[in-house]
Amino acid sequence: MTDQDILALFTKIIRDLLSDESITLTMQTKREEVPNWDSMNYINFIAAVEIELGVKFGVADIESFEDVGAIVAQTSAMLR
Amino acid sequence: MILLSLAAREAIAGVPIIATVAEVDQAIDRQVDELRHLWRKARETFKATVVQQTFLDATDPVFGSYDRLVPAAPSRLIARLNDRMSQAAASESVLLLDVARASERNGIDAWFDRGRWFQAKMEISQPAAPLYGDLAARVLAAQRGLSKKCLVLDLDNTLWGGVIGDDGLEGIVLGQGSALGEAHLAFQRYALQLKARGVILAVCSKNDSATAEAVFENHPEMVLKRTDIAAFIANWHDKAENLKTIATRLNIGLDSLVFVDDNPVERARVRESLPMVAVPELPEDAARFVPCLADAGYFEAIGFTVEDRQRAAQYAANAEREALLGSSESVDDFLRGLKMSVSFGPIGTLDLVRATQLINKTNQFNPTTRRYTGDELAALAAAPENVTLQFRLLDRFSDNGLVSAMILRPDPGEPEVLEIDTWVMSCRVFGRDLEREAMNVAVEAASHRGVRSFRASYIPTKKNGVISNLYPSLGFARMEQTVPTDGATRWYLNLADYEYRPTHIARTSK
């Protein structure tokens, strides 16, 4: 799975979660920039990624992600 | 519904590991008292059913195996808290959602995600949410009387290994000495347990009837006996048709049936033509039949009534009654031969559980199909302006228990007119003239209060067609009115004009 594949999957997950087809994530997207992507939906997003890809983020990771690119990078590392 | 979903770690925080048994009990009693207060508050404020979730045990061992001997070890605290809380909940008519038990079944890690707890104080993790929702829905469904009533069993490769028609009595695999035989035996034992708690058992098999019945009579390892089966159908007809016959014979709806069959073709056929019948997707391995059936939660209960305990015996008595009917010259003759008697009175505290169950489960003899929770019914029964009645019917074969209930409420502004708000009767006692005796009793009770007339509605549903003629048959006259959209008809009865209906039912109390 390339980073671009992961990013595309993230876009699909967040569209489902927020019922908003207009969202397209980029590596530089920050959570605050996406309408309604609040802390609750952030947890739901993380859980959806974990279920979808069979990975597990640590508590420290989840607090430290600065942008979508950081989540993609960590996901990619876990998949390797 | 108000569902209290509380985290255990809050509830047991502050009890030191050195606490004595007495100190632990004191702390737990305090917790339970607090819960009691919450339940009462929730009920008062929202007039809703209150459901309390058991506490998940996501604690970690402190001593190891020795934890079990330390009263304040976290796992012991939670076990004790769950015990005490469950007893308190039962005494307050609060329903339980036992996630603790569910998590023991598929593992605490499937329910509790430590990361989610630290991030969001989320105790039930997202992957467990669908199951959690299902468990909660089962409790609510049970309260609404929507749980299944009857387990319909296939025979070959379901109750035993092999095909009786091909393999013969000696050839089928059942009982000790074979793992497969023991697995089928375990499944039979589970079915028998369900029967003991009030689930009706039936058989639906493609076999010659005599061959199939012979296994029940003659195979030494059979746990289920022929008398355990309330409806036994073995023939070569379509199983969907046979299921309809079973439902008719037992006088229950098709949506009360669970059909267990190892054959995927039969399952698909039944699902297609009878979508209201529950058909578990039985695994290939007979060792997993029991958990497949048990985990589906078809027979979820919110109580265990006297009627539940006696149901099996009652269905056996039904068979004897049918035999009596066969040997009687006329229906009148049959009813006389039953030697029936009825006892009745207002719906009292001790009748509430069964009366609520009856009101919520009865679809056929139910002219208005109004549903009430236990709390609502208690309030209706306690209101002095209402007349409530419950009827228990005995006959020479069995005590049928509380089989009919009635709620009459005065019309606002017309205290001398009572409206039959609710009247339900168990299908087990159809055709015994109990509705006539019940009306005789109701008219008497109301006349004593100076009531002049009854009014009643018949609101047709898919299931209550059997009583479409109930009120005219009891002497009620149709009220003229504009045609309502739900097809309901309105009826009235002047009590002064009421002709007491003769029946073969004696009265045993007043």
User: φ and ψ at B2, to 5 degrees?
Assistant: -110, 120
For residue A51, give the chain B residue with the closest CA.
B127
Domains of chain B, by residue range, sit at: 2-143, 150-295, 329-507
Look at B119 and A43 and tell me if their CB atoms are within 8 Å: yes
Residue-wise pLDDT tens digits, B144-193: 889 999 999 999 999 999 999 989 999 999 998 899 999 999 999 999 99
Residue-wise pLDDT tens digits, B4-63: 999 888 778 889 999 999 999 999 999 999 999 999 999 999 988 999 999 999 999 999
- CATH number assigned to the domain with residue range B329-507, chosen from the 4 options 3.40.630.30, 3.40.50.720, 3.40.50.1000, 3.30.450.270: 3.40.630.30
Look at A43 and B122 and tell me if their CB atoms are within 8 Å: yes
3-state SS, one letter per residue, for B285-318: CHHHHHHHHHHCCCCCCCCCCHHHHHHHHHHHHH
Q: Are B172 and B212 in contact (CB under 8 A)?
A: no
- pLDDT at residue B436 greater than cutoff 90: yes
Look at A44 and B115 and tell me if their CB atoms are within 8 Å: no
Q: Which among A44, A51, A59 has the least Cβ separation from residue B118?
A: A59
- CATH number assigned to the domain with residue range B2-143, chosen from the 4 options 1.20.1090.10, 3.40.50.1110, 3.40.50.150, 1.10.10.10: 3.40.50.1110
Q: Which among A40, A48, A59 has the least Cβ separation from residue B115?
A: A59
Query: Looking at CA atoms only, how far is residue B115 from chain A in angstroms?
Result: 6
Q: Quick check: B64 contacting A, CB < 8 Å?
A: no
Look at B126 and A47 and tell me if their CB atoms are within 8 Å: yes
Q: Are B374 and B95 in contact (CB under 8 A)?
A: no
Size of interface A-B (CB pairs under 8 A): 22
Q: Which among A39, A44, A59 has the least Cβ separation from residue B126?
A: A44
Distance between CA atoms of residues B463 and B363, nearest Å:
6
Contacts of A51 in chain B (CB under 8 A): 126-127
The string of DSSP letters for B129-172 reads HHHHHHHHHHHHHHHTT-S--EEEE--BTTTBBS-HHHHHHHHS
Task: Give the three-state DSSP class for B256.
Answer: helix
- pLDDT at residue B353 greater than cutoff 50: yes
For residue B114, give the chain A residue with the closest CA.
A59
Give the mutation candidate from A49, A62, A78 for the B interface (greatest B CB count, under 10 A).
A62
Look at B119 and A47 and tell me if their CB atoms are within 8 Å: no
pLDDT-above-90 percentage for chain B? 75
Distance between CA atoms of residues B16 and B11, nearest Å:
13
Q: Which residues contact B485 (CB under 8 A, 6 or more apart)?
A: none
Residue B271, judged by CB atoms within 10 A of its CB (0-12, 13-18, 19+), counts as: middle
Of the listed ranges B395-409, B447-461, B472-486, the one predicted with least confidence: B472-486
Look at B116 and A57 and tell me if their CB atoms are within 8 Å: no
| Mean pLDDT, range B449-470, rounded to an integer | 92
Look at B116 and A47 and tell me if their CB atoms are within 8 Å: yes
Look at A39 and B127 and tell me if their CB atoms are within 8 Å: no
Query: Looking at CA atoms only, how far is residue A11 from chain B in angstroms?
Result: 19
Amino acid of residue B321: R
Q: Are B202 and B230 in contact (CB under 8 A)?
A: yes
Residue-wise pLDDT tens digits, B246-255: 998 888 899 9
Structure ipTM:
0.88
Contacts of B116 in chain A (CB under 8 A): 43, 47
Task: Tell me the angle at which helices B306-327 and B352-361 cross, rounded to the nearest 10 degrees.
Answer: 60
Q: Quick check: B118 contacting A, CB < 8 Å?
A: yes
Q: Which pLDDT score is estimated for B211?
A: 93
Q: Which pLDDT score is estimated for B483?
A: 65
Q: Which residues of chain A register pLDDT less than 50?
A: none
| Mean pLDDT, range B228-253, rounded to an integer | 91
pTM over 0.90: no
Name the superfamily (CATH) of residues B150-295: HAD superfamily/HAD-like (3.40.50.1000)
Q: Which pLDDT score is estimated for B412?
A: 81
pLDDT band per the 50, 70, 90 thresholds, residue B337: confident
Q: In what order do the strands lie in the sheet with B231-235?
A: B231-235, B200-206, B150-153, B257-260
Range ranked top by mean pLDDT from B256-265, B320-329, B397-406, B482-491: B256-265
Q: Which pLDDT score is estimated for B27?
A: 94
Q: Which pLDDT score is estimated for B319?
A: 65
| Mean pLDDT, range B347-376, rounded to an integer | 91
Name the superfamily (CATH) of residues A3-79: ACP-like (1.10.1200.10)
Look at B122 and A57 and tell me if their CB atoms are within 8 Å: no
Look at B120 and A43 and tell me if their CB atoms are within 8 Å: yes
Distance between CA atoms of residues B510 and B501, nearest Å:
18
- pLDDT at residue B419 greater than cutoff 90: yes
Distance between CA atoms of residues B147 and B299, nearest Å:
5
Q: Which among A48, A56, A62 has the least Cβ separation from residue B119?
A: A62
Which candidate, B293, B229, B303, places its Cα nearest to that of B261? B293
Look at A43 and B116 and tell me if their CB atoms are within 8 Å: yes
pLDDT band per the 50, 70, 90 thresholds, residue B510: very low
Domains of chain A, by residue range, sit at: 3-79
Q: Quick check: B132 contacting A, CB < 8 Å?
A: no
Query: Looking at CA atoms only, how far is residue A59 from chain B in angstroms?
Result: 6
Give the mutation candidate from B111, B122, B126, B131 for the A interface (greatest A CB count, under 10 A).
B126
For residue A62, give the chain B residue with the closest CA.
B119
Query: Looking at CA atoms only, how far is residue B100 from chain A in angstroms?
Result: 22
- pLDDT at residue B228 greater than cutoff 50: yes
- pLDDT at residue B509 greater than cutoff 80: no
For residue A39, give the chain B residue with the closest CA.
B120
Residue-wise pLDDT tens digits, B180-221: 999 999 999 999 999 999 999 999 999 999 999 999 999 999
B2-143 shares its CATH topology with B150-295? yes
Q: How far is CA B265 from CA B238, B261, B270, B271, B309, in A?
A: 12, 9, 9, 10, 35
Look at B127 and A47 and tell me if their CB atoms are within 8 Å: yes
Contacts of B120 in chain A (CB under 8 A): 39-40, 43
Token reading at A14: 């967040």
Contacts of A47 in chain B (CB under 8 A): 116, 125-127
Token reading at B153: 């069993």
Q: Quick check: B125 contacting A, CB < 8 Å?
A: yes
Look at B119 and A51 and tell me if their CB atoms are within 8 Å: no
Look at B120 and A59 and tell me if their CB atoms are within 8 Å: no
Token reading at B14: 């502050």
Q: Which pLDDT score is estimated for B482?
A: 63
Task: Give the three-state DSSP class for B13.
Answer: coil
Distance between CA atoms of residues B282 and B264, nearest Å:
8
